[in-house]
């Protein structure tokens, strides 16, 4: 009889432990899901680790003109685990942010592009339907021109695909349109928009970005106290032979 009572106590203890353990487990899972539902944003006042830079091509400000090159600075925000591409075109500074999921997505998309390039499956089209051939991922954008009193910000799509420009294929990141509504009461009628903007990359330039996105590389740079020097000016990139 005493043995049966002890067995009942043990069974009851196990059930209570399993119940509280299950509650803790599901609470933790719910918290993880809730965190994932939060929009991807970055605080410009967070810790920043400059990583270097690369060169990319952009459309000219004038129609029918050749592509123009611009230096893109790469900055790591370890608090948000975000990689920032900072570049300036005309009078506007752009800060394009990539989270970890987006970075992994980029590496996968680039691998698909490389296979298509080697198999000569790339086709030039006027419709632009190849700009997101390899998919779309979530990004975050901050932009500011000299005439703007605040930094505008918006969640954006980052489309991965390719374009033919000047008879040569480029792997491309198409920065989707960003819409920012000024909520500071400065001018309630002022809506600031950042238009769609493709970033054209040669294969070597695209590979440089993949190296910046490497998880071990980023983690190795996060704890350093001395920031890296800005990258040196690079010569214009050559077109890929195709």
Please give the residue that has the higher pLDDT: either 10 or 46: 46
CA distance 51 to 212: 8
Greatest CA separation found in the chain?
95
**How many residues appear in the chain?**
242
CA distance 172 to 175: 9
Strand partners, 156: 139
Q: At what angle do helices 203-212 and 100-118 cross, to 10 degrees?
A: 150
- What's the chain's average pLDDT? 81
CB atoms under 10 Å from CB of 146, counted, come to 8
Q: List the structure tokens of 206.
A: 């695209």
Mean pLDDT of 53-68: 92
Q: What is residue 101's predicted lDDT score, i.e. its pLDDT?
A: 97
CA distance 173 to 106: 9
Q: What is residue 39's predicted lDDT score, i.e. its pLDDT?
A: 85
In the predicted model, is pLDDT for residue 233 greater than 50?
no
Q: What is residue 145's predicted lDDT score, i.e. its pLDDT?
A: 86
In percent, the amount of the chain with pLDDT more than 70 equals: 73
CA distance 116 to 118: 6
Q: What ranges do the domains of the chain cover?
A: 1-38, 49-221
- pLDDT category, 38, cuts 50, 70, 90? confident
CA distance 38 to 43: 14
Lowest mean pLDDT among 39-48, 121-130, 163-172: 121-130
For 103, residues 6+ apart whose C-beta sits below 8 A from its C-beta are 83, 213
In the predicted model, is pLDDT for residue 24 greater than 60?
no
- Provide the strand spans (E) within the chain: 49-58, 68-77, 82-89, 92-98, 136-145, 152-165, 168-175, 178-181, 191-194, 197-201
Q: List the structure tokens of 241.
A: 């032979």
Residue 36's H or E segment, with its range, is helix 2-37
Contact 79, 47 (CB under 8 A): yes
End-to-end CA distance of the chain: 86
Q: 3-state secondary structure string, 73-136?
A: EEEEECCCCEEEEEEEECCEEEEEEECHHHHHHHHHHHHHHHHHHHCCCCCCCCCCCCCCCCCE
The 10s digit of each residue's pLDDT in 92-141 is 999 999 999 999 999 999 999 999 999 999 998 776 789 999 999 999 99
The 10s digit of each residue's pLDDT in 70-90 is 999 999 999 999 999 999 998
């Amino acid at each position: 009889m005493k043995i049966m009572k002890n067995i009942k106590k043990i069974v009851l203890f196990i059930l209570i432990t399993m119940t509280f353990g299950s509650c803790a487990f599901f609470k933790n899972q719910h918290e993880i899901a809730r965190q994932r539902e939060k929009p991807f944003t970055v605080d410009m006042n967070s810790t920043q680790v400059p990583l270097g830079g690369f060169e990319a091509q952009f459309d000219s400000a004038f129609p029918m003109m050749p592509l123009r090159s611009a230096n893109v600075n790469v900055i790591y925000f370890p608090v948000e685990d975000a990689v920032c591409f900072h570049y300036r075109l005309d009078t506007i500074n752009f800060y394009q942010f990539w989270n970890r999921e987006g970075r992994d997505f980029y590496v996968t998309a680039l691998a698909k592009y490389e296979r298509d390039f080697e198999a000569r499956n790339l086709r030039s089209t006027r419709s632009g339907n190849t700009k997101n051939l390899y998919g779309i991922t979530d990004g975050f954008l901050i932009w500011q021109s000299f005439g703007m009193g605040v930094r505008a910000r918006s969640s954006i799509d980052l489309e991965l695909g390719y374009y033919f420009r000047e008879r040569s294929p480029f792997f491309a990141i198409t920065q989707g349109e960003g819409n920012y509504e000024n909520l500071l009461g400065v001018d309630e009628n002022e809506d600031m928009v950042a238009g769609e903007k493709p970033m054209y990359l040669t294969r070597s330039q695209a590979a440089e970005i993949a190296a910046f996105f490497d998880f071990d590389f980023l983690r190795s740079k996060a704890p350093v106290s001395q920031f890296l020097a800005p990258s040196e000016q690079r010569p214009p990139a050559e077109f890929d032979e195709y």
